[in-house]
Structure 1
Amino acid sequence: MGVQKNDERDDEFHQFVTAAWPRLLRTAFLLSGDRHTAEDLVQATLERSYVAWWRVSRADDRDAYVRRILLNEHARRFRRRLREQLVTAVPERPAEGGFGRVDDRAALLAALAALPPRQRQAVVLRYWEDLSESQVAAAMGCSVGTVKSQASKGVAKLRAVFLPAGVTRLGGAA
């Protein structure tokens, strides 16, 4: 009987991984700026998720639970290094998602990698993952106000890189 439960749990986890892998990999890539680091980050996240699958599987939103594990794992790795690595290479074939449509992905990824970690998390989750402010706040373990502030600062820094001097928004000058 215990074997049956383990087999069911493994099947359920396998189905979750199959569905969530592309999304987790895209998020990890945007957070880390490197394909290999992103794969390692997702692998570590899924290892932690499997160990705690009995909790994850009972969560109201499994994706949110695992996304939080991903952010925590990224933060843990970041704290271990004094300086975060900048983007080393852009994958030949970008992951599915909005950033694949940008003409100069390398410049965007480099600018994204230059953001402080909390700003990068807020921007990636809010605008690439299209999560609500409350979902981002839950994932980051902070208030909605902090999400708004960090996302605003991050977007402002990205705009400074991509918009000509004197232009504060697309379609107009300051």
Structure 2
Amino acid sequence: MTAGHRPESPGATSPPMDFTDFYQAHFHRLAVQLYAYLGDHAEAQDLTQEAFCRLLERWDQVSGYDDPIAWVRRVGWNLATSRLRRMRTAVRHLARQRPEHVPGPSPDRVALLAALATLPANQRQAIVLHHLTHLRVAEIANQLGVPEGTVRSWLSRGRAALATYFTERQEAGRA
């Protein structure tokens, strides 16, 4: 007799357990356990679901065990432990990849981003492509699928709007 299995005695027949009933009876309890272990509700539910999917593949065998929920619980806990190990490894790797301190954006960058946000999308895109990525007008026109004249118009209008934006901000700062 294998550990965890019901002894098979001649003439002793028990009705087969229904997977759906078993799932409904035990899913929540296992998900709560894994949530307490992981601290992430969605992750706990995903891993519980995975444990039950693995059970379904082996339902004919595992349903004959004395305590089939113990099998599912072990699979769920193993999945959770593996997930934590992978996360720790990823965090350590990322920590080695990043510099100790990443400075925030400069005031000039914040001001530029705020100003660009006031422009219509086509003007903003043309300004960014031309002045920040240093594409020529012809390259921008080709990339956006518009005539070069349209790009020149967007650039002109965008520059004028940015000049007005910064002039107004400068005058408001003096007042």
Shorter-chain TM-score: which interval? 0.3 to 0.5
Larger Rg: 2
TM-score computed with the length of structure 2 as normaliser = 0.40
